[in-house]
Structure 1
Amino acid sequence: MQDKITDGRSVRRWRRRLADEREEARVYRSLAARRTGEEREILLGLAEAEERHARYWEDLLGDEIGPHRRGQFRMRILVALARRFGSVFVLALAQRAESRSPYRYDQDVPASMAADERIHEEVVRALAARGRARVSGSFRAAVFGANDGLVSNLALVLGVIGGNLPADVVLLTGLAGLLAGALSMGAGEYISVRSQRELLAAATPDPQARAVVPYLDVDANELALVYRARGMDEDEAQRRADALLREFQLKLPAEAEPQEGSAEAPAESADGHDVVGTAMKAAVSSFVFFASGALVPVLPFAVGFTGLMAVVLAVVLVGLALMLTGATVGVLSGASPLPRALRQLAIGLGAAAVTYLLGVLFGATVG
């Protein structure tokens, strides 16, 4: 491969590729160190693949490999985060990094290696999806609570300011809005999630129904109707029912009870409870994050600022917090954070501006 080295520019690019592959391998090994079971094995498999890619660049460089160098700054940050946290947030960042792979445009990269990188992105996407499913209930409540706290309390504070009320009234109004909103959000999330889990539980098949399958009359039973009620067409439902009955008729009754998780058991169903989350976690997340968000527009008034300076500080702080919330959602969804941050900022400040104008209007009318 040594004859491929044509100029210093190629050598520098290949060295960057080598350094980045080594950093990616460190990311996956660091994540694997914080996990067990299948996820650990998958992450170690990804690390080995990145190390295989690193060996390709080592062979290509040969004597021109040069001193050991670090990868891009964002990859080094990702390694540090993986070592300390290992959370779904880091997996989402790794997914984003895989999606930006330059290999599909690099003529020095074999097609097989470029294809590997595309597959790596899908593997990381699937691992991140597992993590998102585990935290989705509480995360949804947290994001919604923080955003609602920021927007609603800024709108409330600006509306009162638009009505030309004194600073102490603005502060009291903001604190009252914080407490009322946080309690309302927490209670609402608890009822919402609890109700959704109860609906899911009502729709979940009764596991005790499995026990009667071996005793059904082979010639006259409604087992096929169970499968049809779950969305199968008539022929497929009958085929599944007949196959299940034949399997159990070959066993003694005491041995015939379907095993938990059996692929053919009629009571099998994914209930989605993990995606919904628990009512208490959702309520606490919503309460805490709403209160945290609602505190931001009140802070300037709480520390003694008044007038235009307090308003400007409140708007700036809320704007930064809205962008942070939007960017976080963007990262966790595997997308670019900037568009989500700007969208969150535009919606939040737009709602607050409307309330301020209403405050000015009604304040002028009352005056």
Structure 2
Amino acid sequence: MTPAPDARQVRRWRRYLADERAEAAVYRDLASRRDGEEREILLALAEAEGRHEAHWRTLLGDRVGYPLRGDLRTRVLGFLARRFGGVFVLALAQRAEARSPYAGDSDATDTMAADEVIHGEVIRGLADRGRSRLSGTFRAAVFGANDGLVSNLALVLGVGASGLPTSAVLLTGVAGLLAGALSMAAGEYVSVRSQRELLAASRPAPEAAAALPLLDIDENELALVYRARGMDEAQARRHADEVLAGGHGDAQPEHDDHEAIGSAPAAAASSFAFFASGAIVPVLPYLVGLSGVAAVAVASALVGLALLATGAIVGVLSGASPGKRALRQLAIGYGAAAVTYLLGLAFGTSLA
């Protein structure tokens, strides 16, 4: 006869039951904001959590009692899933699955522990899809804002430490904001424009398609075109034969890579905005009239909070610890600012 569970076991089982219910609800909420394959995958995960829920119900029997609420992390995850969805919630769900206690709990089956590991990989795959969709924009936003935060804080603190008046520090900060943002915008414009020009130079000339019907079929020099593009001799000749026979393919590329790269003016404008959004933060105390140590302290605090936020966002999206990434971002930013601040003090002392 199986011994009756003690009070501690019952509490733990009820907690697991509540967490499984909450996790299943999260997946259903995420599924409600999607369609197609992703929706089916998330609903399948919710069903799997339902099987785990049934396991704890069976163990508890008539000890189930009133339904408990899931733990705080799962409830927050559920709130975010209902309101936002998206890759951020998937990344958080990935970390939640990785914290499953079932592997070390004899009351959970080996299958349940294995399920949680696989669930984490499924969520990782879904999160990777989202990361790939926003990677370009997100990278530009985070790194542009981070560059503005760190470079302008370093500039403002360095100039302020040298003993220059507040008006000069403010002017320097605004100049640094504009110079950095314009430099970022110009660099992005040139980069995107150059990519588009390189692609245009690689596109077949319009006259190539018109020349196809006039080619000598026996010589089939069209095969040389495809060999130049990277096909081996057999593939190139076979593809050229199909084109000349009126099968499929032509001298034009299948996809418009210009659309994937985007517009050069739009890229420049977004880079300007991202950098400026970070660079304005260290200047804010001076804009509202603060000066001296107070302005330095407030600017450093504001930039510190912004660095913690960007670091945490990077951590969440990468599936790593948000806290560690936030502290790393803060340490790097403050380290750069400290160097220029010390240099400003040294120059201020030498010029005094």
TM-score range, shorter chain: 0.7 to 0.9
Once residues 76 and 277 of structure 2 are traced to their aligned partners in structure 1, the CA distance between those partners, rounded to angstroms, is 27
Q: Which is further off, 215-224 or 122-131? A: 215-224
Alignment-derived partner of residue 120 in structure 2? 121
User: Does the residue aligned with 2:280 lie in a helix, a strand or coil?
Assistant: helix
Once residues 239 and 111 of structure 2 are traced to their aligned partners in structure 1, the CA distance between those partners, rounded to angstroms, is 43
Alignment-derived partner of residue 339 in structure 2? 354
State the one-letter code of the partner of 2:143: F
Alignment-derived partner of residue 182 in structure 2? 183
Aligned length: 345
Alignment-derived partner of residue 59 in structure 1? 58
**Contact 1:27 / 1:78 at 8 angstroms: preserved in 2?**
yes
**CA 1:129–1:65: 2 relative to 1, 3 Å:** same
**Contact 1:135 / 1:277 at 8 angstroms: preserved in 2?**
no
1:32-64 Cα offsets, whole Å, 9 max, x none, are: 111122222222222222222212222222211
Once residues 362 and 22 of structure 1 are traced to their aligned partners in structure 2, the CA distance between those partners, rounded to angstroms, is 63
**CA 1:219–1:114: 2 relative to 1, 3 Å:** farther
Once residues 27 and 60 of structure 1 are traced to their aligned partners in structure 2, the CA distance between those partners, rounded to angstroms, is 24
Shift of 1:151: 0.5
State the one-letter code of the partner of 2:118: I
**Contact 2:24 / 2:50 at 8 angstroms: preserved in 1?**
yes
What is the RMSD of the two structures over their aligned residues, measured on CA atoms? Answer: 3.6
State percent identity of aligned pairs: 62
Alignment-derived partner of residue 263 in structure 1? none
Once residues 224 and 54 of structure 2 are traced to their aligned partners in structure 1, the CA distance between those partners, rounded to angstroms, is 56
Once residues 60 and 341 of structure 1 are traced to their aligned partners in structure 2, the CA distance between those partners, rounded to angstroms, is 41
1:121-146 Cα offsets, whole Å, 9 max, x none, are: 11111111111111111111111111
TM-score by length of structure 1 reads 0.80
Once residues 104 and 216 of structure 1 are traced to their aligned partners in structure 2, the CA distance between those partners, rounded to angstroms, is 70
After the TM superposition, which residues 106-185 of structure 1 pair with which residues of structure 2 at under 5 Å, given as runs?
106-185=105-184
TM-score by length of structure 2 reads 0.84
State the one-letter code of the partner of 2:123: V
**CA 1:284–1:269: 2 relative to 1, 3 Å:** closer
Alignment-derived partner of residue 335 in structure 1? 320
**CA 1:354–1:24: 2 relative to 1, 3 Å:** same
Once residues 100 and 35 of structure 1 are traced to their aligned partners in structure 2, the CA distance between those partners, rounded to angstroms, is 25
**CA 1:93–1:195: 2 relative to 1, 3 Å:** farther
Once residues 253 and 179 of structure 1 are traced to their aligned partners in structure 2, the CA distance between those partners, rounded to angstroms, is 59
Q: Does 1:302 align with 2:293?
A: no
**CA 1:283–1:310: 2 relative to 1, 3 Å:** same
What 5-or-longer segments of structure 1 have no aligned partner?
260-266
Shift of 1:194: 4.2
Once residues 19 and 134 of structure 1 are traced to their aligned partners in structure 2, the CA distance between those partners, rounded to angstroms, is 34
Q: Does 1:44 align with 2:43?
A: yes
Once residues 182 and 359 of structure 1 are traced to their aligned partners in structure 2, the CA distance between those partners, rounded to angstroms, is 23
Shift of 1:79: 0.8
After the TM superposition, which residues 124-273 of structure 1 pair with which residues of structure 2 at under 5 Å, given as runs?
124-196=123-195, 199=198, 256-257=247-248
Shift of 1:80: 0.8
Alignment-derived partner of residue 264 in structure 1? none
Shift of 1:288: 2.2
Q: Does 1:287 align with 2:272?
A: yes
Shift of 1:300: 1.4
Once residues 348 and 366 of structure 1 are traced to their aligned partners in structure 2, the CA distance between those partners, rounded to angstroms, is 27
Once residues 201 and 95 of structure 1 are traced to their aligned partners in structure 2, the CA distance between those partners, rounded to angstroms, is 41
Shift of 1:4: 6.5
What 5-or-longer segments of structure 2 have no aligned partner?
none
